């Protein structure tokens, strides 16, 4: 029987939601280039992929340098919308914000192969809420993808707060990202982190002073070593809280 906590913090992809994407397929880049051509920005799949990779690297370097200047521990997180702004600027184009978001959703839709909640998630979140627990989301993700996908999955209103790395400029395993939970008024001694990444969700949580649960799923990276002492591996989300 697991001890009870007041606050439950979840990772999203690979923990609550089963997902598979493929941004490496040539067909993906051909379709994305075609979409840009339709929007008045002629390009080829090869040119687009090269430019996108280059801009991601450049923006990541800038973001890491900014965190160092501000003495904030990384890793940094870029926002995919900024990548496309830079790309369009290099092509002497500028789109309204709504069109940028729409194109980002197209990017995701073209790469998405699977997205669904794990079967026990709705009942688990209901059980926690019914027991008076607070529920939080702490996820490395892009708001242009994740905000719509939370609506699609029926999760938008299930959390007391949603913290997405792409909106914060920093991501797990940074202690600065975990520190945002303090701003939500959480007592870390009464807070449990649940995730499928032993580094980002367990070791980082331990450094921040949180107990954690580790779930190995198809999206989990290869474990980097033994789990922290205050982390426990569970076979499924059913073990997080007794499901009535």
| Tens of pLDDT, residues 204-226 | 999 999 999 999 999 999 988 89
What is the structure's pLDDT at 168? Answer: 96
What is the structure's pLDDT at 109? Answer: 96
| Mean pLDDT, rounded, of the chain | 95
Q: 75 preceded by cis ω (within 30°)?
A: yes
**Whether the Cβ atoms of residue 39 and residue 103 lie closer than 8 Å to each other:** yes
What is the structure's pLDDT at 97? Answer: 94
pLDDT at 243 over 70: no
pLDDT at 52 over 80: yes
**Whether the Cβ atoms of residue 131 and residue 44 lie closer than 8 Å to each other:** no
Instruction: Tell me the per-residue pLDDT of 170-196, one tens digit each, with 9 for 90 and over.
Output: 999 999 999 999 999 999 999 999 999
Task: Choose between 20 and 242: higher pLDDT.
Answer: 20
What is the structure's pLDDT at 171? Answer: 97
- The alpha carbon of 192 is separated from its chain's Cα centroid by a whole number of angstroms, namely 18
Class of residue 27 by CB neighbours under 10 A (exposed 0-12, middle 13-18, buried 19+): exposed
Cα distance between residue 36 and residue 31, in whole Å = 9
Instruction: Tell me the per-residue pLDDT of 88-112, one tens digit each, with 9 for 90 and over.
Output: 999 999 999 999 999 999 999 999 9
What is the reported pTM? 0.94
Confidence of residue 242 (pLDDT cuts 50, 70, 90): low
What is the structure's pLDDT at 174? Answer: 97
Confidence of residue 86 (pLDDT cuts 50, 70, 90): very high
In terms of residues, how long is the chain?
244
What is the structure's pLDDT at 224? Answer: 87
What is each CA distance from 191 to 5, 11, 139, in whole angstroms?
6, 14, 16
Confidence of residue 138 (pLDDT cuts 50, 70, 90): very high
Instruction: Tell me the per-residue pLDDT of 153-166, one tens digit each, with 9 for 90 and over.
Output: 999 999 999 999 99
CA proximity to 168, closest of 75, 88, 105, 87: 75
CA proximity to 173, closest of 77, 75, 69: 75
Q: 40-69: buried (b, 16+ CB within 10 Å) or exposed (e) per residue?
A: ebebebeebbebbeebeeebbeebeeebee
């Amino acid at each position: 029987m697991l001890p009870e906590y007041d606050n439950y913090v979840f990772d999203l992809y690979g923990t609550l939601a089963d997902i598979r994407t493929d941004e490496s397929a040539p067909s993906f880049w051909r379709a994305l280039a075609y979409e840009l051509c339709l929007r008045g920005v002629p390009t080829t799949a090869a040119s687009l992929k090269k430019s996108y990779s280059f801009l991601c690297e450049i923006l990541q370097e800038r973001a890491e340098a900014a965190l160092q200047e501000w003495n904030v521990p990384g890793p940094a997180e870029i926002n995919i919308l900024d990548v496309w702004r830079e790309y369009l600027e290099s092509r002497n184009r500028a789109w309204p914000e709504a069109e940028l978001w729409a194109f980002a959703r197209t990017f995701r839709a073209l790469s998405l192969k699977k997205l669904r909640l794990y079967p026990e998630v709705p009942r688990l979140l209901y059980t926690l809420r019914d027991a008076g627990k607070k529920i939080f989301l702490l996820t490395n993700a892009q708001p242009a993808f994740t905000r719509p996908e939370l609506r699609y999955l029926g999760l938008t209103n299930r959390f007391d707060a949603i913290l997405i790395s792409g909106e914060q400029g920093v991501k797990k395993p940074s202690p600065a990202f975990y520190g945002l939970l303090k701003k939500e008024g959480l007592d870390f001694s009464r807070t449990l982190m649940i995730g499928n990444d032993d580094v980002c969700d367990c070791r980082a949580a331990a450094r921040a002073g949180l107990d954690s649960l580790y779930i190995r799923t198809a999206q989990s990276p290869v474990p980097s070593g033994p789990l922290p002492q205050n982390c426990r591996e569970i076979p499924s989300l059913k073990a997080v809280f007794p499901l009535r």
